[in-house]
Structure 1
Amino acid sequence: MATSEAHRDSVTDKAKPGTFVGWAMYFSRLRGKVPPLPAPVRIEPVEDKGTLVILTPERFTASNPEHVALAAHVHELLDRAELLRPLQPWPAG
């Protein structure tokens, strides 16, 4: 996930990786399927490994109310799809 500290700090008090939305995010296929997301969000498959999600084609900024609203909406959709949960270590294998 990539985002600014300003955006991260504005949406969460306890920033646990995997639990909030940023400008660009990667979801392993093991985490689940990314649902359809609204424009201008891009959803790009990464081979058979997972999905890259990019919120805006331009640089995401926490000072842009449209960016912040889009991130909040996408957060709701990804949370509903149970994709936003704390990252866990890979099982020893």
Structure 2
Amino acid sequence: MDGDDVHALLLTRHQRERQRIDRARAMVAMGEEPRIRERGHIPDDVKQLVWIRDQGRCRVCGATSELQFDYIIPVAMGGSSEVENLQLLCGSCNRRKGAGLTLP
């Protein structure tokens, strides 16, 4: 294992720890441990409002293709399908975010 390997392992570990901290802070901010919910259908009117608010662009990089509706606070952590909890992300930014609350 060389220096680059060690650096990569430490960076990955740090990112996972940061995501766990972000999740814990979100749970504390909600005042209680969220109930585990299944992600439901996002109503069409909510999708339209999110699309208009985000101007049909990824909120991170501004891309206009491969857009996906993303839950800012995941449903499994108590997030809802409300306009305030949804954002447009391109596929690339959404994959980087994963199940966390922020992009690495």
Q: TM-score, normalised by structure 2?
A: 0.25
Greater strand fraction, Structure 1 or Structure 2: 1
Compute the TM-score of the two structures, normalised by the length of structure 1. Answer: 0.27
Which of the two has higher C-alpha Rg? Answer: 2
Larger RCO of the pair (alpha carbons < 8 Å, separation 6+): 1
By percentage of residues, which structure has more helix? Answer: 2
